[in-house]
Amino acid sequence: MPAAVDKLPRVLAVFDFDWSLINHDSDYWVVNGLAPEVWEETHALSQAGGQWTDLMDRALGRMHQLGITREQIEQRLDDVPVHPGLLKTVELLSSMTPPADLFILSDANTAFIDRILRSYKIRHLFRIHQDEGEVNVQRHHVCGRWSVFFALLICGMSTCKLLFFLVDGLGDVAIPELDHKTPLQYANTPHMDALAACGLSGLMDPVEPGLACGSDTAHMSILGYDPRKYYRGRGAFESMGAGLPMIHGDIAFKSNFATLDQGTNIVLRRRASRHFELEGPILCQALDKCLPSSNAPSPEAQRTCAVINELSREIQRILTNHPVNAERKAAGKTVANCVLLRGAGSRIEEQVPTIQELHGLRASMIAPTCIIAGLGMSIGMDVLTVPGATGDYQTNLQAKGDAAVAAITSSGYDFCFVHIKAVDDAGHDKDVHRKIHFLQEIDHVLGRVVKQLEQMQVPVVITLTGDHSTPVLYGDHSYEPVPVTMARLSANPVEMSMTCDHVTCFDEISARQGALGRFRGLELMGVIKKVMTIKAAANAAAIKRGSAAYYNPNTGATNMKEYPLGTTNYEPVNVIISGLSGGSVSNPDDSVKGGILSWFQAINFDHECFNLHAGGYDGFDSGDGRGFQNQTFIYRENYNDPSGVGSCTESLIGGQHVRGFYQSTSGAWFIAASQEESASQNHNIVPNGYDLGRNYVANNAVKGGTGFDGCVFGPATVEDITNLVAPNDGSGYNHGIGTDGVVKLITVPAPTGC
């Protein structure tokens, strides 16, 4: 009996940064190392009561005045001493099964932390937080605890691939000898759990609730074909999958070697043996060209019955006298002295759309099991031959995983369906140990597959489920629903968004808490395609406009407030860049050509000084369903400096300042604009600074300008919105500064010259 694995507890390691992970103070290391006089000034101002993040902002501006470059700062960060013992600790924690979740909780400069971790090639292992309020221990697994491999991608079906792992007989019931856990709960499956933690989970009734379905009807339903409408028996699937040609009008049977009591004509065993790989082909060869002798004319039904009965008698005669059965009988084994004909079926292609017609996906299938391969052929899937893939306990799962990756990365397929049979066989054999073993083997292959996709930078939706439950206590199919999970994965991380829920383990019990709920298999492909296309409009914003100017985020009273990190005060969101703006302005990636950064550069803003952020991040709920999100960007007044470092001047003497928050449902940007004092005044908001900052953005917007990428923006249109923010005298607002309540809605025209 393998050791039980409790999937819920995971190691959470939280590090400080300065004088912990690194053997120094990062601010001191950079500033004093490159400009000692600036450090002395900064330290003196700190002793006089200055706010440290504002003072560091000022220090970066002063370093720019002294001619210090970003490259010099980065080189200095690369040289910072790191504690070797802690590096070893990080290595050990990240190599655990499952890997530990690693957090940095520090008030150090996040840009400094990011650069140093990257220089030691461990950035991908950590999440960085500046405020303990951000670290929700109850949820830190939910979206991406397997962060080395997984990240969500906003993509359309034209770019996302689909990799579908179907584990035959996956589901089970609680087993007393497993501490009343199911085999899936009991098995050590960290990669399956990681998939669930990064995706959406639920419970699926493959055909319908309460039905103990077969693999044929379950697969039809799961692939989007209603078996009550299209199913014509499994015989044709079995025959085609075995390589037997069938034309329309032919009838084929699923055939089993069985054990018959010849005295009573009672079938003792419907399968003489579940594992007949060596003797079965010999007996099949003996039955080749076995034809009934009767050809007397009769009514159609009578003739069919007579033909089948005569065939059965001839098969029984041949098998009874065969040496193989004489040897089995002498060895005390059950004999295979008859063939049960069942599942009569005909081809279905004329009656059903192909899978490409139904789903718009060029599909392939890896399924050595005849019935599944035949079904795939019947609906137009290319069945791939994989050496070593046998569909039984001897199958080469790794070869199947590698072939699946190749199918969607180099063979031109949009969709690869991988059928895995061994788990079902273990259920039928009532072998709990073997079922657990193969679940863990599949988990290992899943991890290997995801690593390959991450290295190849392939955006893909991975779906994992079963076709039915085969509990080891019963040894047969049952009606219990099966767990299902799906996640969008990419080697190109973007912010985690809507395609994850609270489920962190892949098993029958955890899945019932998932966002997908409980549904029929016929609905599955539709759900998968929605996951493949969710928020695709945001990704396509570079070539088409957003879906709306904006959606009102208010939920009752005014909600147009963004909260500086660690405070209860707020600042007004007072500018909206319309989702109907032209070019790529509505793209959530601010770095794309002709995007939001390019437009702000055109109206005299740019990244922060040296593109380094000092201080925390503000949060805002745009009402798009994602809850409070950190700012996507912060830009500062550029003082018309074409060199790209004019914002360093703003860090010293103050000026205009904007924070941007993206609304994914419309493509609009919600902006908190303000005018700030100099660094010596701790960057406080100037009197009437919120309205002044808003007006500065609006006034420059109607002039237009040229971004640093060469994109030329013409005059924007500006509209006053008065029903989103209530006028305020400064009560509750940061620094006590009031506002007149006007929000500027700006629609930016498409740029030229990009």
Q: What pLDDT, in 10s, does the model give residues 553-575?
A: 874 334 677 665 445 578 899 99
pLDDT over threshold 50, residue 203: yes
Per-residue pLDDT, averaged over 374-395, amounts to: 91
Lowest mean pLDDT among 96-100, 233-237, 484-488, 679-683: 233-237
Residue 113 Cα distances to 33, 47, 68, 701, angstroms: 17, 25, 20, 35
d(CA 452, CA 441): 17
The residue with greater pLDDT, 244 or 719, is 719
- Residue 84: pLDDT band (50, 70, 90) is low
- Does residue 4 surpass a pLDDT of 60? no
Domains in the chain, CATH or no CATH each: 12-134 (3.40.50.1000), 161-232+352-534 (3.40.720.10), 252-345 (no CATH), 539-747 (no CATH)
Q: Which residues neighbour 285 within 8 Å (Cβ) at sequence distance 6 or greater?
A: none
pLDDT digit string (tens) for 171-182?
999 999 999 999
Rounded average pLDDT over 500-508: 86
Q: How confident is the model at residue 715 (pLDDT cuts 50, 70, 90)?
A: very high
Of the listed ranges 15-19, 146-150, 482-486, the least confidently predicted one is 146-150
What angle (nearest 5°) sits at the alpha carbon of residue 72, between those of residues 66 and 77?
125
* Cα separation, 267 vs 594, whole angstroms: 75
Q: Looking at residue 616, what is its pLDDT?
A: 59
Mean pLDDT over all residues of the chain?
81
- 120 or 290, which is more confident? 120
CA dist., res. 198 & res. 497, Å (int):
10
Q: Which of 589, 594, 546 is nearest to 712 (CA)?
A: 594
Q: How many CA atoms lie within 13 A of 88 on its CB side?
A: 3
Is residue 733 over pLDDT 70?
Answer: yes
Whether the predicted pLDDT of 150 surpasses 60: no
For the cut 90, the answer to whether the pLDDT of residue 247 exceeds it is: no
Q: Between these two residues, 42 and 542, which has the higher pLDDT value?
A: 42
Tell me, what's the pLDDT at 141?
A: 39
- Amino acid at site 537: A
**Percentage with pLDDT > 90 across the chain:** 34
* pLDDT at residue number 611: 64
Which tokens in the block code for residue 539?
């990704």
pLDDT at 749 over 90: yes
Cα(648)–Cα(653) distance, integer angstroms: 9
Instruction: Say which range, 152-156, 239-243, 665-669, 689-693, has the weakest mean pLDDT.
Output: 152-156
Give the pTM: 0.49
The region of weakest confidence among 93-97, 429-433, 469-473, 490-494 is: 490-494
Secondary element (H or E) of residue 126: strand 126-129
Q: What is the pLDDT of residue 737?
A: 92
pLDDT at 179: 94
Q: Provide mean pLDDT across the span 212-222.
A: 92
d(CA 675, CA 695): 10
pLDDT at 277: 67
Q: What is the gyration radius of the CA atoms in the chain, in angstroms?
A: 33
Lowest mean pLDDT among 205-209, 261-265, 325-329, 585-589: 261-265
Residue, of 501 and 465, whose pLDDT is higher: 465
In this predicted structure, what is the pLDDT of residue 143? 37
